Amino acid sequence: MKHIARKRFGQNFLIDTSIIDRIIQSINPQVNNRLVEIGPGLGALTCPLLSVAGTLDVIELDRDIIPLLKKNCADKGDLTIHNQDVLKFDFHSLHRTNEKLRIIGNLPYNISTPIIFHLVKFSSIISDMHFMLQKEVVDRLAASPGNSDYGRLSVMTQYHFNVTPLFLVPPESFEPRPKVNSAIVRLRPHEKPPITVPDEQAFSDLVKQAFSQKRKTLRNTLKNRCSIEQLEAANIKPGQRAEELTLKQFSDLSNILHQP
């Protein structure tokens, strides 16, 4: 029985064996790694990961694909399937003492950003993450200040993770073919945060508001949150836009606004 990719689940199945091999090499799985795969689909990555590591947890929302996944990965290793919505999944449930999670996924394009923001909550128990994403999203994750791709996703991801784009994956590597290019990215939690932020929620709220109207200056977008003097105290010109600010400038402003 052949599984027909479902648009509502954002399913595009990886079929290019050379790309699969390259992804596995980039992940470099080891025996007994605590591996977790998001959206395993038909098992293109699942099977080779299982063959090396021996055990693997996967999170799959489409219950109809699970029998095929089990069949394709039979005798490859110890596979545990969690038929749940990843956006509601508690990754702490998979964590063991002194054994951080290694997360892999060909993420659905329509919810890739919410998944990354969800995983931020679990960064303290994550060793690294390797994701297949729309190239445009990877560009945003890795963007620097002054780049048009630089935004809230860039700031919040780079606060929590070191971002390393690895390589491109063309549409013909999938079935069905997506209309966009994809890319592999590695996200690794910082051992030491690049900035000091005593109140992470206040920092997140500030970044979100600053980028809420990208074309406007910070004098306007943040007028109900801070004064001109407070902007200048953080070495920010009121006429600047959010996409011009460094991670440190955002943290400095947040800390000024929330001094004890």
Each residue of 104-147: pLDDT tens digit?
A: 998 888 889 999 999 999 999 999 999 999 999 999 999 999 99
| pLDDT exceeds cutoff 60 at 32 | yes
- For residue range 148-165, what is the model confidence (pLDDT) as tens digits? 999 999 999 999 999 999
- Please report the pLDDT score of residue 190 as a whole number: 94
Which tokens in the block code for residue 84? Answer: 């749940």
- For residue range 201-225, what is the model confidence (pLDDT) as tens digits? 999 999 999 999 888 999 999 999 9
- Please report the pLDDT score of residue 11 as a whole number: 54
Please work out, in degrees rounded to the nearest 5, the angle formed at the alpha carbon of residue 9 by the alpha carbons of 77 and 90. Answer: 60
- DSSP helix, strand, coil percent of the chain (3-state; round to 5): 40, 20, 40
- Please report the pLDDT score of residue 175 as a whole number: 77
Domains defined for the chain, CATH in brackets: 11-189 (3.40.50.150), 200-257 (1.10.8.100)
- For residue range 75-109, what is the model confidence (pLDDT) as tens digits? 899 999 999 999 999 999 999 878 899 999 988 88
The type of residue at 133 is: L
| pLDDT exceeds cutoff 90 at 189 | yes
| pLDDT exceeds cutoff 50 at 7 | no
Q: How is 27-66 classified by DSSP, letter by letter?
A: H---TT-EEEEE--TTSTTHHHHHHHHSEEEEE---GGGH
Q: Mean pLDDT throughout 231-253?
A: 95
At 175, is the secondary structure helix, strand, or coil? strand
Model confidence, pTM: 0.89
